[in-house]
Chain A
Amino acid sequence: MEISTFFYIIFSSLQIGLIYALISIGFNLLYSSTKIINVAYGEFITIGAFVAYWLFVLYNIPPPVSIFVAIVILVVMSIPLYQILFRRLLASKSVEYIEIWGVIITFGLSILLQGTMALVWSAQSKGYSYLDNVIDILSLTFTLNKIVTVVIAAVLVVFLYYLLFRTDVGISMRSVIQDPNLAETIGLEMNRIFLSSFILSSVIAGIAGVLLSMSFEINPFMGTTYIILAFVVTAIGGVGNPIGSFIGGLFLGALSVLIGYTIGPGLNLFIIYTLLVVVLIIRPKGLLGRG
């Protein structure tokens, strides 16, 4: 293997892996703190991707700037969604009830969002060219948008680490994830923490969507692929473990790139689904396991 190919694989793995890591951290965070399996999580990614696409195509706004618009849109969307769909559900405090109804509610939301986006923007795949001319440095070739993606995703991962491990929001979220009854008994306001988790999770999805749109084609149904990815990474990395999600995401990203390079990208999803099945057979407690 040439050194430039090797470098290309490493760099692409990092790019895809960091995006997968972000997607999985957001999904895992919401599930582990609220027990809601957000099936519509993938659609929040799609929304982020379309925000970046339209802002670029219509107004020539570069995607890194669109991230801020995507954040605002997802926050504004998340608050009423939470109040209408989840607030009362979460007050029930029964894990089984929240899991079952959470899936049903968000599955409906997912269909609704996919259908609406397909109706408004058509089901056709779309893409745009942003900083995708090939650059050659020291005989290593890559495109600039990949570097921008890696930098933004890395900054976001560091920010999330800081948020989860060094702030009041993070400490309260991690307390709720580990022992919700204790957290409530010592005075934490659960509703506020649930809402923060939902907003944070949606925003992470939206940003991941913007990053994806910089290198890949997008369409209203793309979310389904990524929700499966989030399932697989959560199964690998462990529920309630953001660092596990980070490592699992990087691993799956690298795996996808390697499959694409050696066997061909067509088998990518097949292998990922197989991995999910295998993980769930070996570790049946993987996804929904509690203790």
Chain B
Amino acid sequence: MSILEVEKVSKQFGGIKALDGVSLNLEKGELVGLIGPNGSGKTTLFNIISGILKPDEGAIIFENARIDRLPPNRIAVLGISRTFQEVRLINDLTVIENTMISALPHFNMEYEKAAQHSVEALKIVGLEKKSESLVSDLNLYERKLVELARAISARPKLMLIDEIMAGLTEEEQSRIAKILNDLRDKHGITIFWIEHVIRAMFKLVGVDRVIVLNWGEKLAEGSPQEILSNEDVIEAYLGKSSIRGGGIAQSN
């Protein structure tokens, strides 16, 4: 059963087509990767799904209802939460408060209930011991965990994760990979995940499918193995660096 359908979505900025008739489906309980070179429209697509941007054409259907004209806060309450490419936290607030703000709308703004629920989210990411720290005192990895906890605490059916692995050590990446796997396997959350650290997506996390965007269009879609051996993908995306890398290796 599909939880999210993106139907022929287009978006222009000035003269540039950021998205050009993109269609895709997410099945309930899937963990789907979204990759593509810089400027291929990945984050634009996330912004459209979460309601920050409105599509010029096309529709977004979540659990069989159109959501592309709803304001972001209504979409969040329906069950879509997200993290951001650049970690966005409220620096004056503590870890638990940052986690709570996304839970409040789901608990009729009741402080105690939202707080209890948020402790559970912090346990999932393993940050419950730091719940009273100010987020401005945390390192990048911990800040990413807070953002992840905030997304979990919003009781999502679908989570949009935008480049969570960048700037982390391999050990930190493995720990986040485990959290993502757990979210899908134990908590039944559907995950749509943009990532530039390709190794993390293909080796650390068991993604079910990968979708590739290039110049605002869908270039390919398939299992991780299919994507890795797809010639279009290698040329458009992995190609440049692997050819250049190969060239350098040969010349040496």
Q: How far is the CB of A161 from chain B (nearest CB, A)?
A: 14
Contacts A186-B81, A186-B150; is A179 near B105 (CB within 8 Å)?
no
Does B226 lie at the interface of the complex (its beta carbon under 8 Å from any beta carbon of A)? no
A168 engages B110 (CB within 8 Å): yes
Instruction: Please pick, from A167, A186, A189, A190, the residue contacting B101 in the complex, using a CB distance under 8 A.
Output: A186
CB neighbours (8 Å) of A171 from chain B are: 93, 97, 100-101, 104
CB neighbours (8 Å) of B72 from chain A are: 184-185, 187
Among B20-62, those with CB < 8 Å from A are 50-52
Cα–Cα distance between A190 and B74 once the two chains are bound (Å):
11
Most buried by A among B81, B92, B93: B92
Does A175 lie at the interface of the complex (its beta carbon under 8 Å from any beta carbon of B)? yes
A178 engages B91 (CB within 8 Å): yes
Q: A147-166 toward B: CB 8 Å interface, digit per residue (1/0)?
A: 00000000000000000001
Cα–Cα distance between A185 and B76 once the two chains are bound (Å):
7
Among B87-126, those with CB < 8 Å from A are 88, 90-93, 97, 100-102, 104-106, 109-111, 114
Instruction: Please pick, from A172, A178, A179, the residue contacting B104 in the complex, using a CB distance under 8 A.
Output: A172
A168 engages B52 (CB within 8 Å): no
CB neighbours (8 Å) of A186 from chain B are: 73, 76, 81, 101-102, 150, 154
Cα–Cα distance between A187 and B92 once the two chains are bound (Å):
19
Residue of B with least CB distance to A190: B73
Does A183 lie at the interface of the complex (its beta carbon under 8 Å from any beta carbon of B)? yes
CB neighbours (8 Å) of A182 from chain B are: 84, 88, 90
Q: How far is the CB of A238 from chain B (nearest CB, A)?
A: 12
A187 engages B106 (CB within 8 Å): yes
A187 engages B91 (CB within 8 Å): no
Residue of A with least CB distance to B150: A186
Does B167 lie at the interface of the complex (its beta carbon under 8 Å from any beta carbon of A)? no
Grouping DSSP codes into helix (H, G, I), strand (E, B) and loop, the A interface class, with mixed when no group exceeds half, is helix
Q: Number of B interface residues at 8 Å Cβ cutoff, please give it.
A: 29
B102 engages A187 (CB within 8 Å): yes
Cα–Cα distance between A59 and B110 once the two chains are bound (Å):
40
Most buried by B among A174, A175, A178, A183: A175
Does B77 lie at the interface of the complex (its beta carbon under 8 Å from any beta carbon of A)? yes
Q: A205-217 toward B: CB 8 Å interface, digit per residue (1/0)?
A: 0000000000000
CB neighbours (8 Å) of A174 from chain B are: 90, 92-93
Cα–Cα distance between A184 and B105 once the two chains are bound (Å):
11
Q: How far is the CB of A206 from chain B (nearest CB, A)?
A: 25
Among B104-156, those with CB < 8 Å from A are 104-106, 109-111, 114, 150, 154
Contacts A168-B109, A168-B111, A181-B52; is A188 near B104 (CB within 8 Å)?
yes
Among B219-238, those with CB < 8 Å from A are none
Contacts A171-B97, A175-B101; is A189 near B92 (CB within 8 Å)?
no
Instruction: Please pick, from A167, A178, A184, A187, the residue contacting B154 in the complex, using a CB distance under 8 A.
Output: A187
Residue of B with least CB distance to A189: B73
CB neighbours (8 Å) of A168 from chain B are: 100, 104, 109-111, 114
Does B11 lie at the interface of the complex (its beta carbon under 8 Å from any beta carbon of A)? no
Does B82 lie at the interface of the complex (its beta carbon under 8 Å from any beta carbon of A)? yes
CB neighbours (8 Å) of B114 from chain A are: 168
Cα–Cα distance between A127 and B110 once the two chains are bound (Å):
44
A185 engages B104 (CB within 8 Å): no
Does B71 lie at the interface of the complex (its beta carbon under 8 Å from any beta carbon of A)? yes
A184 engages B111 (CB within 8 Å): no
Instruction: Please pick, from A169, A179, A185, A189, the residue contacting B90 in the complex, using a CB distance under 8 A.
Output: A179
Among B148-177, those with CB < 8 Å from A are 150, 154
> What are 8 A-B residue pairs whose CB atoms fall within 8 Å in the complex?
A168-B104, A168-B110, A168-B114, A169-B109, A174-B90, A185-B72, A186-B76, A187-B76
Q: For the complex of A and B, list the 5 residue pairs with the smallest distance between their C-beta atoms, beginning with the closest.
A: A187-B76, A187-B105, A186-B102, A185-B72, A168-B111
Interface contacts beyond A168-B114, A185-B51, A186-B150: sample of 15 additional A-B pairs, CB < 8 Å, sorted by A: A166-B111, A168-B100, A168-B109, A169-B109, A171-B104, A175-B93, A178-B91, A178-B92, A182-B84, A182-B90, A184-B71, A186-B101, A188-B104, A188-B105, A190-B73
